Structure 1
Amino acid sequence: MVTVSVARKILLALPDTEEKAHMGHPDFRVNNRIFASLAPSKNKKKVVVVKLSLANQTAVMQIDPDAYSTNGWSRHGWTTVHLDKMTPSRFRSLAQSSWAEVAAKKRAS
């Protein structure tokens, strides 16, 4: 299980990451673009919403459907991650993928 505190430390350890807020929830940005957000879930479980490529989103959802869920923005790659189903190393890898997805778009533009 990953706590919110551990998730925050993992996200902030990524290069050039800043913590700000979006819609009243902490978010994490690279080049002022959001790649992850701490968000409340309807059932009070701790979740982080991350930006993934659609291919990566499909892959992680197939590998462990209990650890992830979709939301209204999923068609854009936003994926809900259930922290109680994560290990720190698994979440770190996911955070790195999310960071790279958003950072790459800034470099490409």
Structure 2
Amino acid sequence: MPSIAEFVEIVRGFPEVEEKPHFEKISFRVKNKILATLSEKDYRITLKLSEADQDVYGLFDPSSIYPVPNKWGKQGWTFVELNTVHRDILMDALKSAYTCVAPKHLVDLLNKNS
């Protein structure tokens, strides 16, 4: 189970990620597109995944990774419970979210540095 500080350190390490307020949460963006938000009070993040990735990660651990229960969930927005998700699965899901929103040249840079 990663801590909030570990999550923030990981996502800040991706190329050109910026941290900005988003309502009562913190958003992490690349080229102003949100890849993740953090709700510290809920100890939960929300990721932008493809529908296919959302399905796959949900199969790994449906109690820790699941679609947002509204129309946003049908667009790939996915809750991740930080207090129960395995760190390796979180790392993979974060990379998938980054790949979903980042320009190709930044995805290539991330893959080169991984």
**Superposition TM-score tier, normalisation by shorter sequence:** 0.7 to 0.9
1:68 is displaced (CA, Å) by 1.4
**Structure 2 counterpart of 1:50:** 47
Distance 1:62 1:22 in 2: 29
**Structure 1 counterpart of 2:98:** 99
* Unmatched runs of 5 consecutive residues or more in structure 2: 107-114
The 3-state SS of whatever aligns with 1:7 is helix
| Residue-by-residue CA offset, 1:47-95 (whole Å, 9 max, x unaligned) | 1000000001011112211111322211110000011122333212111
Number of aligned positions between the proteins? 104
Moved over 3 A (4+): none
**Structure 1 counterpart of 2:86:** 87
The 3-state SS of whatever aligns with 1:62 is helix
Identity among equivalent positions (%) equals 31
The 5 Å alignment of 1:7-86 reads 7-39=7-39, 45-71=42-68, 72=70, 73-86=72-85
The 3-state SS of whatever aligns with 1:85 is coil
Instruction: State TM-score, norm by structure 2.
Output: 0.82
Give the CA RMSD over aligned residues: 2.0
Distance 1:89 1:61 in 2: 14
**Contact 1:25–1:38 (Cα < 8 Å) also in 2:** yes
1:24 is displaced (CA, Å) by 2.2
Instruction: State TM-score, norm by structure 1.
Output: 0.85
